[in-house]
Structure 1
Amino acid sequence: MTTIDQVPAAPASFSVHVPDAELEVEPLDPEQIVSGDPVVTGKVLWESPDGKQLRGIWQITPGVVTDTEANELFVVVSGRATVEVEGGVTLRIGPGDACVLREGDRTTWTVHETLRKAYHISL
């Protein structure tokens, strides 16, 4: 079995164990933080040659943050959050939930337990 640490920069096929994959700190714009002291980490596992498709792992610790979304499909691996879409639905998400966010959605994430997700983004 090939792990992400062993694959070339743009692998055709690979596997990674999402729950314990090592992630890198991703700076969070202080203007996005509504409350708490959330920390974001992540790792891009694959990017298309034109940079318009991304697949990876993302994690955020408890707190409340705002964001403007890209077209994204993700599956929650662990943790819990409430995602309020401005002018739309409120999503209560936890392990095993698959979610779709639309490009331009303005969201408020209330992270109750450190949340880790595997995602695919289309830019």
Structure 2
Amino acid sequence: MTELLPESANRVAHARTAIVSLDPVPADEVVSGAPRQGIKELGSIAGAEAGIWELRGGTVVDTEADELFVVLSGEASIELLDEGHTVDVKAGDVMRLVAGTRTRWVVPDHIRKVYLTPSAE
């Protein structure tokens, strides 16, 4: 996958309009709907990976990685299953997710976010 913002260049990425290829969410993660998701790598900086993630049309479950994200467009209700409460996010919101948190993402239309997460190295 080609990074939009490689370490060796001063560049800009138009994250709200970048093409993110969407694929069906694996069946074991789907709660309802026919959700599709995709990731576009931005690059890495100071031991963190950055990317754009988009989810469309449905409800899915996930176990999170340690992550900080900014919502660019759309909205979601994120049920924090182990904590027993829900956080609603929309464009402009910033959220931290702790590794291992089990979540249920309810996305009526779409959500697009830019995320930072520790490199897998």
When normalised by structure 2's length, the TM-score is 0.84
Contact 1:26 / 1:42 at 8 angstroms: preserved in 2? no
CA RMSD of aligned residues (A): 2.0
What's the % identity of the aligned pairs? 35
State how far apart, in whole Å, the 2-side matches of 1:12 and 1:104 are: 34
Q: How many residues align?
A: 115
Return structure 1 stretches of 4+ with deviation > 4 angstroms: none
Q: Which residue of 1 aligns with 2:72?
A: 77
Matched residue type, 1:102: V
State how far apart, in whole Å, the 1-side matches of 2:45 and 2:73 are: 26
1:40 aligned to 2:40? no
Contact 1:73 / 1:119 at 8 angstroms: preserved in 2? yes
Q: Which residue of 2 aligns with 1:113?
A: 109
> How far 1:86 moved relative to its partner?
1.2
State how far apart, in whole Å, the 1-side matches of 2:74 and 2:101 are: 22
More strand by share: 2
Unaligned 5+ runs, structure 2: none
| 1:5-40 C-alpha deviation (Å, 9 max, x unpaired) | xx6x44464321111001123552210000000100
Aligned CA distance change for structure 1 residues 77 and 54 (closer, same or farther; 3 Å): same
State how far apart, in whole Å, the 1-side matches of 2:114 and 2:13 are: 10
Unaligned 5+ runs, structure 1: none
When normalised by structure 1's length, the TM-score is 0.83
